[in-house]
Structure 1
Amino acid sequence: MLTQKSAADEADAQNENITMDDKTTPDLPLSDPGLGTSKEQTTSKKSGWFKLYRIPLVMVFIFVGAVIGLYFQPPGVQAFFGLTGLQPGGGTDTPIAVAVQQVTTQEEVSVVSEGDVVALGRLIPRGDIVTVAPPFGASDARISEICVAVGDKVARGDTLAVLDNLAQLESDVATAQADVQVRDATLQQTKLNTRASLEEARAALQRAEATAAVTQTELDRTTSLLERGVTTRAVFDDAQARATEAIRDVEKSRATLSRYQASEGVLQADIAVAEANLEAARASLARSQLDLSKAYVRAPSDGTVLDIHVRPGEKPGSDGVLNLGNTNEMTVEVEVYQTLIGRVALGDPVTIFADALASDLLGSVSAIGLEIGRQTVTSDDPAANTDARVVDVIVTLDKASSDIASRFTNLEVVARIDAGRIE
């Protein structure tokens, strides 16, 4: 029994030795029963936790990089957007990384600015651009000569262009002037003839009255002789006939005299007709001289020639002859979105942005429209809303800004109105 027990103990001791040798000998194909923890297993656990820690670190780095890219927009990011045609903030309806200078739609206004009002507008001269058309009644006249060039300063009434109907209208004026001279000569002739006829009628009346007096005396004497039976009835009838004829000659002479003799305050009839004809000729001359102005295109006001639409030989169309504007005083026509107009007040300071401008322009709100209309200043985005409801706001620029803007009439700009900043 003791022998068997000692043999069993010896076998167990040998198995322990074998197990310990297996732990230290990697070449043996026996596996670790889990009685101990190796160094490799500890290292593997640490590596797994480190991988888990790297995930939030990578997310933080990505977020920081995105913020830096949106804020600074380095050349690499810009080149990427340039190659792909993508726009910053183009994938959302509420972009936050769009500069004020790049606002192109009225819908972006409320997103870009919470305290200010930002809107699209255009630079215009004070009073807007005047399209100078041919004179009324120019009909089919064509341009004969352009008297100005783009950029010329003109004053009210200056001749801008000459039409080809000038020769015909000048001929009409010459004809009217000759007619006036003829009518004036006729009046003078009528006055002389009337004066001579008046004197002649007076003399004829006096002669008729004298003849009538003689015949009446002879009739009275013949009547006396007939009553005494000294003369015959035939002699009496002859004397009576001569007396009656003399009376009729007197009436005729008086009637003739009245024709050439005017009453008090009333012109003699022939002279009145001649003077009326002269006035009619003068009126015709005035009309011809007025029509002569239809051959000239004149400046309706002081300003600068902005553009010329026709050349000599062409007939002006709906665009008129040229555009004129007072660029000495430039303004901005801003179209404020209808939901933001309540924040705008007269006198609010305004800053104007545009890529074409070397510096920002400064001004203030000088007028606010009373009517809500359709948007006219739009971006070149084919998907942009072109039926936005806006109110026109006029911004008057200061002198320095007006001088800069005078070369950029109709330039599309972005206006930022500092709403509520005035005291």
Structure 2
Amino acid sequence: MDKLRFAMSAESRACPPAPAAPASPCLPLLVVDRSGGAGAHRAESASVALAVARWPAALGAAAFALLLLGAVLASRSWWAASATKAAPPGLAPPTQVLALGRLAPQGELRLLAAPFGAGDAPVAELHVHEGQQVAAGARLVTFGNSEARQAALLVAERQLASREAALQQAAREVSSAQAQVAAELRRAELVARAAAQDYQRWEALAAQDFVSATALDQRRTQRDEALELLARAQAGQARHAGDAATQPDLRLAQKGVEAARAELDRARQDLAGSVLRAPHEGTVIALRSRVGERPGASGVLEFGDTRVMTAELEVHQDEVRHLRAGLPVSLEASALDTRLQGHISQIGLSVGRQRLTEASPAANTDARVLRVTVQLDPASSARARSLVGLELRARIALAPVAP
């Protein structure tokens, strides 16, 4: 024991305590006491305690090293991504653009709804069948209110005929009245002129005392009566003067005719609203309603001009910059034995959400696309005429870029 104390005191003098660095204590030298096992046991316990005290520091250092390694890897990944984004200008330009599309008639496929005048009337008669080619204005569908509208049209036509007859009768009456007034005026003018002349003659005789004053008064009375009759005739002439169309009775009859014509026009429009006609030359693609059914929100039938077929493509917004009108396009689908050929005829102006997707579960379903129209060549258009709405895949060959 004296030897052990001496050794530890000597070690203390050789390595004095350093309070400024408690995290790194100066380790005591292990002195083995050959004389007994008690000293060795205490030294072994001190060594184990010291090793346990070192573990938190070692774990902290390891965690710090892992964080540093992760930061380095993340930095390298970011620089790699930045280098990838900056790489496309140096890459070779693409040679083709892939897109999904659908066959459609030129001018788009139209869903024809019931006319406004049809109301909620059911379909009474179908005049066409699917696949039938029709001319512009051809009757397609007749609705159930057509017979009532036809009857209303007949009533309006008869009403107009009656009003026109009344107008003609009023015109004849006005003409007759004008002629009668003119004749009365001429007669009154003659009577007044004769009475005035007769009075002048009698007035001269009375001045020479050849006639009595009483006789002269009678002639004056006759002259005044003739002048009054002339005034009444002139007033009647003023009432019937001018064009016959300005006469009150005639104007009233004319307004009746105009009202009847307006009613006839409305009846004709109502009748036209009970019949669906072809807006232009084309083909009946599909019938959406049958006889006895009321047309729904989906319309009555699908209609389009299939003589010239097109393909409506959805091109991703990032690929549109490579496209221009006239580029050749190849179209394929499992329902086609050969590829269809065409060229870009129109590039849309607005970006929207895609409507067509691949069958793969990993396909993107929320891409932003631009609508591109492809004009098919005559041979391809003839093959695609009976496949309206077919989904297909398109390959747009890009023109080589000049160096």
User: Counterpart of 1:247?
Assistant: 227
Equivalent residue in structure 1 for 2:120, among 124, 137, 140:
140
User: Counterpart of 1:329?
Assistant: 308
Equivalent-residue separation in structure 2 for 1:404 and 1:189 (angstroms):
67
Whether the 8 Å CA contact 2:111–2:298 is kept in 1: the answer is yes
* Secondary structure in 1 matching 2:303: strand
Instruction: Map 1:210-229; keep pairs closer than 5 Å.
Output: 210-216=190-196
Would the alpha carbon gap of residues 386 and 231 (structure 1) be closer, same or farther in structure 2, given more than 3 Å must change? farther
Whether the 8 Å CA contact 2:202–2:211 is kept in 1: the answer is no
Whether the 8 Å CA contact 2:353–2:368 is kept in 1: the answer is yes
Would the alpha carbon gap of residues 248 and 383 (structure 1) be closer, same or farther in structure 2, given more than 3 Å must change? farther
**Larger CA deviation: 194-203 vs 115-124:** 194-203
- The letter of the residue matching 2:150 is E
* Secondary structure in 1 matching 2:372: strand
User: Counterpart of 1:349?
Assistant: 328
Instruction: Map 1:397-408; keep pairs closer than 5 Å.
Output: 397-408=376-387
Equivalent-residue separation in structure 2 for 1:422 and 1:171 (angstroms):
70
Equivalent residue in structure 1 for 2:186, among 188, 203, 206:
206
* Secondary structure in 1 matching 2:306: coil
Q: Structure 1 residue 222: deviation in Å?
A: 7.0
Give the number of equivalent residue pairs. 308
User: Counterpart of 2:299?
Assistant: 320
- The letter of the residue matching 1:202 is A
1:190 aligns with 2:170: yes
Q: Structure 1 residue 232: deviation in Å?
A: 6.3
* Secondary structure in 1 matching 2:369: strand
1:253-297 deviations in Å (ceiling 9; x for gaps): 12223434435xx74524455455445434443443333211210
Q: Structure 1 residue 410: deviation in Å?
A: 1.2
Q: Structure 1 residue 408: deviation in Å?
A: 1.8
Instruction: Map 1:90-101; keep pairs closer than 5 Å.
Output: none
Whether the 8 Å CA contact 2:95–2:400 is kept in 1: the answer is no
Equivalent-residue separation in structure 2 for 1:258 and 1:245 (angstroms):
20
Equivalent-residue separation in structure 2 for 1:248 and 1:321 (angstroms):
78
* Secondary structure in 1 matching 2:155: helix
Q: Structure 1 residue 161: deviation in Å?
A: 0.2
Equivalent-residue separation in structure 2 for 1:362 and 1:206 (angstroms):
92
* Secondary structure in 1 matching 2:141: strand
- The letter of the residue matching 1:141 is A
1:24-55 deviations in Å (ceiling 9; x for gaps): xxxxxxxxxxxxxxxxxxxxxxxxxxxxxxxx
1:159 aligns with 2:100: no
Could you tell me the TM-score, scaled by structure 2's length?
A: 0.67
Q: Structure 1 residue 156: deviation in Å?
A: 1.0
Q: Structure 1 residue 394: deviation in Å?
A: 1.1
- The letter of the residue matching 2:316 is Y
1:298 aligns with 2:277: yes
1:347-393 deviations in Å (ceiling 9; x for gaps): 22211121222222222222111222221212456775433111111
Would the alpha carbon gap of residues 258 and 391 (structure 1) be closer, same or farther in structure 2, given more than 3 Å must change? same
* Secondary structure in 2 matching 1:175: helix
1:329-363 deviations in Å (ceiling 9; x for gaps): 21111111111111222222211121222222222
Equivalent-residue separation in structure 1 for 2:227 and 2:134 (angstroms):
79
Whether the 8 Å CA contact 1:347–1:422 is kept in 2: the answer is no
Equivalent-residue separation in structure 1 for 2:298 and 2:147 (angstroms):
26
User: Counterpart of 1:85?
Assistant: none
Q: Structure 1 residue 195: deviation in Å?
A: 2.8
Q: Structure 1 residue 133: deviation in Å?
A: 1.8
User: Counterpart of 1:377?
Assistant: 356
1:133-173 deviations in Å (ceiling 9; x for gaps): 22233333332111111111111111110012212222222
Would the alpha carbon gap of residues 357 and 218 (structure 1) be closer, same or farther in structure 2, given more than 3 Å must change? same
- The letter of the residue matching 1:195 is S
Q: Structure 1 residue 322: deviation in Å?
A: 0.5
**Larger CA deviation: 237-246 vs 154-163:** 237-246
* Secondary structure in 2 matching 1:174: helix
Q: What residue ranges of structure 2 are gaps of 5+ in the alignment?
A: 1-92
Would the alpha carbon gap of residues 221 and 292 (structure 1) be closer, same or farther in structure 2, given more than 3 Å must change? same
User: Counterpart of 2:110?
Assistant: 130
User: Counterpart of 1:412?
Assistant: 391
1:96-154 deviations in Å (ceiling 9; x for gaps): xxxxxxxxxxxxxxxxx953111111111111101112223333333211111111111
Percent identity of the aligned residues?
37
User: Counterpart of 1:259?
Assistant: 239
Instruction: Map 1:69-84; keep pairs closer than 5 Å.
Output: none
User: Counterpart of 1:311?
Assistant: 290
* Secondary structure in 2 matching 1:145: strand
Whether the 8 Å CA contact 1:143–1:315 is kept in 2: the answer is yes
**Larger CA deviation: 248-257 vs 328-337:** 248-257
* Secondary structure in 1 matching 2:329: strand
* Secondary structure in 2 matching 1:148: coil
Equivalent-residue separation in structure 1 for 2:360 and 2:217 (angstroms):
118
* Secondary structure in 2 matching 1:326: strand
What is the RMSD of the two structures over their aligned residues, measured on CA atoms? 3.1
User: Counterpart of 2:81?
Assistant: none
**Larger CA deviation: 161-170 vs 283-292:** 283-292
Could you tell me the TM-score, scaled by structure 1's length?
A: 0.64
Would the alpha carbon gap of residues 199 and 355 (structure 1) be closer, same or farther in structure 2, given more than 3 Å must change? same
